[in-house]
Amino acid sequence: MPERQERAISETMSVILIIVLLIIATVLITSLLNGTMTRMLQKPALVTVQADQFDTTGGAHIISLYNNQGDHVILNGTSQTDGVAIITLSLISPSGATIPLGRLTAMSQRAWQPGDTLYIYQSGGSYSFSDTAPTGVTSLAPGTWKITIHDDKVHVLLHTIPVTIR
C-alpha cells in the first residue's frame, strides 16, 4: 500500500497563527470598547427635533427648533466642541428658495443637546439661528417653511421638518 503524504502546517506555524488571531481579536475588542471603531464607521448623528412657530416679545413670528432627544451635536459655523457630529441647518422658504443658516450671536452651550431650543429668524437681510430668543427681528413670511438638517461628517440628510408660520 502506498504511503499517504500528510499535509498540515507545522506546530510552530499553528502557534504563530493563533497568536496573530488573538492579537487581531484584542485590537478589535479594544477599539469597540473605547469608541474608535464607532468613529471609523462614521454613523450619522441621531437627532429628534420638533419645529413650531414662536412669537417673540416684540410680536415677530419666528421658528423654534426643539431638540427632543438623541446625540449631542455641533452646529456648523459655531465654536461648539462637545458633539459627536457637525450638522448644518438650512431653511426652505414657502416659495422654494433654499437659504443656508448662520449665526449672528455666540452660542451659550458647548453642544446642541436634548432639551435645547434653537430660534430661526430673519434679521436685516439674513437668516440666522441662536440658542437665545432674539428681540427686534423681522417676522418670517406666512406660509409653510421647511428646516433641513444635514450631517456634515457622513454627508446625509437627517431631517426635513415643515413648520407653518401664520
pLDDT in tens, 29-76: 888 888 777 666 778 888 999 999 999 988 899 999 999 988 889 888
pLDDT of 97 reads 93
Q: Locate cell 479594544: which residue?
A: 30
pLDDT of 38 reads 65
pLDDT of 34 reads 80
**What is the full DSSP assignment across 74-135?**
EETTS-----SSEEEEEEE-TTS-EEE-EESS--SSSSB-TT-EEEEEEETTEEEEESS--S
Whether the predicted model's global pTM rises above the 0.75 cut: no
What's the Rg (C-alpha) of the chain?
A: 26
